[in-house]
């Protein structure tokens, strides 16, 4: 038997695109973990809810996925984290946003609930493995000026994350 020792080939790191490139959100404000009951039946974000959160700026993977497991490990399935982004709009307008998440999400825009969903293992069909793709879409009614978009993400098992992409960046910027 023979073998040859080869020098490993190192791959250059893929850079994370600039925030907003082709609409892809690559920079998020990520919260601490909180109990999901904080958001149960909360159609409106309140000062009490907001006071329980602290924020850190985090970059996504090059694909745009923000891997929440990098920032904390879920202690139990009653915990959630929030990923938020501020969208500055030059005018009142509606923009579509495509997004994916694992495992559960509540979406708020300007403190009002817009969407709730679940993408747990095999929830779409028996082949669905909880992949995070641009499977869901919302129409965001942006007002002129600052708009806060929150994704409240919950975990069951095996990892949690989020990715989002705006239809275009015309008359908007991300902070």
Does residue 36 lie within any of the structural domains?
yes
Residue 100 placed within a domain = yes
112 in a structural domain: yes
* pLDDT score of 166 more than 90: yes
The answer to whether residue 30 is domain-embedded is yes
Whether 109 has a pLDDT exceeding 80, the answer reads: yes
Residue 84: inside a domain: yes
State how many domains the chain has. 1
Q: What is the pLDDT of residue 141?
A: 98
Q: How far is CA 154 from CA 12, 62, 75, 83, 146, in A?
A: 33, 22, 12, 11, 26
pLDDT score of 155 more than 90: no
Residue 69 in domain: yes
Instruction: Say if residue 136 is exposed, middle or buried (CB neighbours under 10 Å; 0-12, 13-18, 19+).
Output: middle
Average pLDDT of span 136-142: 96
Q: Does 122 map to a domain?
A: yes
What is residue 160's predicted lDDT score, i.e. its pLDDT?
86
- pLDDT of 73 above 60: yes
Whether residue 149 has a cis bond before it, omega within 30° of 0: no
Supply the range of the domain harboring residue 131.
Answer: 21-174
φ, ψ (nearest 5 deg) of residue 147: -130, 125
pLDDT of residue 158: 67
The per-residue pLDDT for 82 is: 97
pLDDT digits (tens, 9 = 90+) for 8-45: 887 778 888 999 999 999 999 999 999 999 998 899 99
Q: What is the per-residue pLDDT for 48?
A: 95
- Whole-number Å distance between alpha carbons of 127 and 113: 30
Q: Is the pLDDT of residue 100 over 70?
A: yes
Q: Structure tokens of 158?
A: 């095996």
1 in any annotated domain: no
What CATH number does residue 123 fall under? 2.60.120
Residue with structure tokens 């159609």? 43
This prediction's pTM? 0.87
49 pLDDT higher than 70 = yes
Given a cut of 80, whether residue 135 has pLDDT beyond it is yes
Stretch 164-172: mean pLDDT, rounded? 97
């Amino acid at each position: 038997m023979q073998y040859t020792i080869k020098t490993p080939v190192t791959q250059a790191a893929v850079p994370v695109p600039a925030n907003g490139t082709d609409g892809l959100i690559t920079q998020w404000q990520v919260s601490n973990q909180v109990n999901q009951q904080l958001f149960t039946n909360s159609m409106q974000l309140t000062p009490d809810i907001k006071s329980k959160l602290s924020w850190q700026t985090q970059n996504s993977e090059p694909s745009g996925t923000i891997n929440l497991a990098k920032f904390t490990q879920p202690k139990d399935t009653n915990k959630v984290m929030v990923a938020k982004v501020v969208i500055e709009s030059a005018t009142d307008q509606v923009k579509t946003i495509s997004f994916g998440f694992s495992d559960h999400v509540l979406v708020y825009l300007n403190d009002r609930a817009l969407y709730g969903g679940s993408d747990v293992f095999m929830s779409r069909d028996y082949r669905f493995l909880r992949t995070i793709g641009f499977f869901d879409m919302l129409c965001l009614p942006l007002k002129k000026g600052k708009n806060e978009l929150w994704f409240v993400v919950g975990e069951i098992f095996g990892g949690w994350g989020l990715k989002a992409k705006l239809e275009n960046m015309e008359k908007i910027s991300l902070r």
